[in-house]
Amino acid sequence: MRTIETTAVVTPEHTLTVEVPADIPPGPRRVVVIVDSPAVAGTKRWLNLKPHNVGLVDPNFTFRREDLYGDDGR
């Protein structure tokens, strides 16, 4: 299985033609088409998250099992 990512134009007749690389042999193939909505200028995003750097708790902390759990393994 190969993934080929390309852009295409949908015609007014609602058809789509895709050209594949020459090394793909002719014959029936399973094809998955994902139609992405075009970005509309001025559209508000419903979720606007900004990155927040919290840093490490302690740069010397190793996240070893012994550091995380007690002697009973919990």
pTM to 2 decimals? 0.40
Q: Is residue 61 part of a domain?
A: yes
CB distance 17 to 8 below 8 Å: yes
Q: Is residue 39 part of a domain?
A: no
Give the 3-state secondary structure of residue 49: coil
Looking up tokens 């399973």 gives: 30
**Does residue 19 have a pLDDT over 80?**
yes
Q: Is residue 63 part of a domain?
A: yes
Q: Which residue has the higher pLDDT, 7 or 25?
A: 25
Q: Is residue 55 part of a domain?
A: yes
| Euclidean distance between CA atoms 17 and 9, whole angstroms | 8
Q: Is residue 40 part of a domain?
A: no
The predicted structure's pLDDT at residue 40 = 58
| Euclidean distance between CA atoms 3 and 31, whole angstroms | 10
Q: Is residue 58 part of a domain?
A: yes
- How many structural domains are present in the chain? 1
Q: Is residue 21 part of a domain?
A: no
Exposure letters 15-36 (e unless 16+ CB within 10 A, then b): eeeeeeeeeeeeeeeeeeeeee
Domain span at 74: 48-74
